Amino acid sequence: MRRALELAGKAMGWTSPNPMVGAVIVKEGRIVGEGYHQRAGTPHAEVHALRRAGEQARGATLYVTLEPCSHYGRTPPCTEAVIRAGITRVVAAMTDPNPLVAGRGLAALREAGIQVEVGLLGHEAARLNEVFVKYITTGLPWVVMKAAMTMDGRIATRTGHSRWVTGEESRLHVHRLRHRYDAIMVGIGTVLADNPLLTTRLPEHEGKQPLRVILDSRLRLPVDARVVRDTSDAGTLVATTERHDPGKKAALEERGVEVAVIPGLGPRVDLPALMRLLGQRQITGILLEGGSEVNAAALAAGIVDKTLFFIAPKIVGGAGAPGPVGGKGVSTMEKAQRLKDVTVERFGPDLLVSGYLEKGEP
């Protein structure tokens, strides 16, 4: 099963809105076939593994990271292929949370006389597909808040200078992270301060760019900003409020920028409403690269599922130097938002501390 999970992870960033799935076929203690789902609309992991196994699949055991599908989508049901191949035992890491399947695939296999087991490395499988699990059960995107800070918790100096907080290895990993998700979201303050391109610029990730989502309640986005002028495949969606300038909206739309007016009661963009809109557009995962105020608003709105904090071995100091989360903050430590399943990785001289908000459990 660990090999199946490893195979599934090879498609990180390529399968949305589908899950990542790996499959391994074992006969008499030997792997006779393996495969993984590479992109949405292409054959599923089980089909790849069965093709490689050929006649050796008869009487073998199939290890798969997710329950085989039993419905017709862009590809035929995997359960039919498994039954036809003569597999006698199926071990699935987890049941598919997709309401179209929801245990039906396993039931079909059992009805065909196949021995079925579920749960081996189930937690690891759920973590691998945390984006899919949330999206398929709620219709909302999985949101990951990313920030880079110094040892004393500053994302910039008191003058606003922030290039660069972290080292080259960390910044390279950010491009890998951008590839994993369907969208990158920032506030207009980040665009005005840094004029970023907000793309993933790694050769191995050519052919896929995340959607750029910019929170801009009054449409202050300059028409000559890099995210507007960029001619790559990365689209740009500006989320604004009813207080926007209609003339500016028309000017941006003329340049190919999509402007979404999000109705709301306050002066800021209604983040839960925006998440519903993006979910309807099959945006399954978002990397939030906002400043302190956007991060605070996202946490307050309850849309954040996971946090990634890069910490550089530097000390900036200064009462006016901003931290990664602004706003009013909580009044007592008892009210602090706590993280679970915290892990620490190293990228050059920097540390990456990752954790899940309690409601972000898949």
Catalytic residue positions, numbered:
46
Helix ranges (DSSP H) in the chain: 2-9, 45-53, 78-85, 104-111, 122-128, 130-138, 168-180, 188-194, 226-229, 246-254, 271-280, 292-301
Residue 146: count other Cβ atoms within 10 Å of its Cβ: 22
> Per the omega criterion (within 30 degrees of 0), is the bond before 17 cis?
yes
Tokens of 26: 């074992």
Which residues fall within 8 angstroms of residue 114, CB to CB, at 6 or more apart? 82, 83, 87, 88, 89, 90
Q: Angle 45-53/78-85 helices, nearest 10 degrees?
A: 20
> Which CA distances in Å does 147 have to 143, 161, 280, 310?
13, 15, 27, 6
